[in-house]
Amino acid sequence: MAIQWFPGHMHLTRKAIEERIKDIDVVIELLDARLPGSSANPLLAELTGHKPTLKVLNKQDLADPGRTPLWLDWYNAKLETHAIALDASDAAPARKLIDGCRKLAPTRQGLSRPMRVLICGIPNVGKSTLINTLSAKRQAKTGDEAGVTKQEQRIVLADDFYLWDTPGMLWPRIIVDQSGDRLAATGAVGRNAYDEEVVALDLLEYLKGQYAAQLDARYKLGLSVDDIAAMHDDELLERIARKRGAVMSGGKLNMQKAAEIVLTDLRGGVLGRISLETPAEFEGWLAEAAVKEEARALKKAEWDKRKVRKDASRARRREQE
Ligand code: G4P
């Protein structure tokens, strides 16, 4: 299912980033460690003028510990990029952020050349939680300089390290259909932009192949991993509905309720540590999307050419009349 969703404050965010970016040395992009590809905004590099970027795979406590290192390697192989994993239980996130940024801009040290960092992330990635933790320990200041929106916050992480938090949120730019469904499943997309049952079925389609044992453990399905993997998604959701008592009067299964149960369980980490994409899968989706985009562009170019020919022949006819 293709989800197209843009929070209303995206223009505010874009403007805030554009205003601040000229004085920034490193950009921190907070990502959801369960979706390190889909939770990134591919426009960020453009928006920030390709500044060095620290990718923080946040909520690592919810992600598959076998997959997070693959994603760290994937990002670390990119130019001007460094990646770390983090979660809200970390007692010293500031130290990790400082060390990560220093790797990208080692010369920004000391009071005369302080490190200036901008932090951004899509909704629900844990930015407010992290900012609150950081501000609780250090002094948070509201920006009062010309051109700086009132809500901009500057947090002093060290005497020579300033972190700027832009107002608003980065928006996910959904370029592959799979990303839309997975972002909706983890709660990054506004609730009115998707159908919970459709998203839960898509989620189960993925989980039954990759995390069948966790599904069995949570919902006491009493089935082997192979049997779960072979089940149709609808059948699986029905079974979960029955097991969890999502039944309406008259005995009809309440599939909406069952879908909500599955999504709530995923979001709360009750299903166990799960990641919804690997770098290889994500690259495959990107390649598919690129092929589709190329076909769309070719079709459009063909259509434009035909229109030009039609207009020219119409103009010729008018001249002859
Ligand atoms: P945002 O500003 O990026 O939109 O995200 P926010 O900090 O509001 O966090 C969204 C949800 O994710 C919150 O849960 C928050 O507690 C949770 N969260 C943030 N960081 C982490 C983390 O590292 N690990 C885990 N497991 N959860 C994290 P909520 O249910 O929406 O609210 P609440 O329960 O905190 O009230």
**Residue 125 assigned ligand-binding role:** yes
Instruction: Output the ligand 1 site: residues, CB below 6 A.
Output: 58-59, 61-62, 87-88, 121, 123-129, 269
Of ligand 1's listed atoms, the one at least distance from the Cα of 30 is 3
DSSP string, 166-181: -SS-------SHHHHH
8-165 matches 195-268 in fold: no
The reported pLDDT for the residue numbered 141 is 46
DSSP string, 21-68: GGG-SEEEEEEETTSTTTTS-TTHHHHTTS--EEEEEE-TTTS-TTTH
The reported pLDDT for the residue numbered 144 is 36
Is residue 101 left, alpha or beta, with left meaning phi > 0 and alpha meaning psi from -120 to 50?
alpha
CA of 135 to the centre of ligand 1 (A): 16
Q: What would the pLDDT profile of 59-86 be if each residue is shown by its tens digit? A: 999 999 999 999 999 999 999 999 999 9
Ligand 1 pocket, mutate which of 10, 30, 64, 124 (most atoms under 8 A from CB)? 124
CA of 127 to the centre of ligand 1 (A): 8
- Enumerate the domain spans of the chain: 8-165, 195-268, 289-321
Placement of tokens 């980490």 in the chain: 269
Residues composing the chain: 321
Average pLDDT along the chain, 321 residues, taken 10 residues at a time? 60 83 95 96 85 97 98 97 96 94 95 95 91 72 39 87 83 75 90 90 96 97 95 96 93 95 96 97 90 87 91 90 81
- Residue 116 phi/psi, 5° resolution? -120, 120
- Residue 110 burial (C-beta neighbours within 10 Å; 0-12, 13-18, 19+): exposed
Return the CATH fold of 8-165. Rossmann fold (3.40.50)
Return the CATH fold of 195-268. Conserved Hypothetical Protein Ylqf; Chain: A; domain 2 (1.10.1580)
The reported pLDDT for the residue numbered 203 is 97
Strands 81-85 and 140-142: unpaired
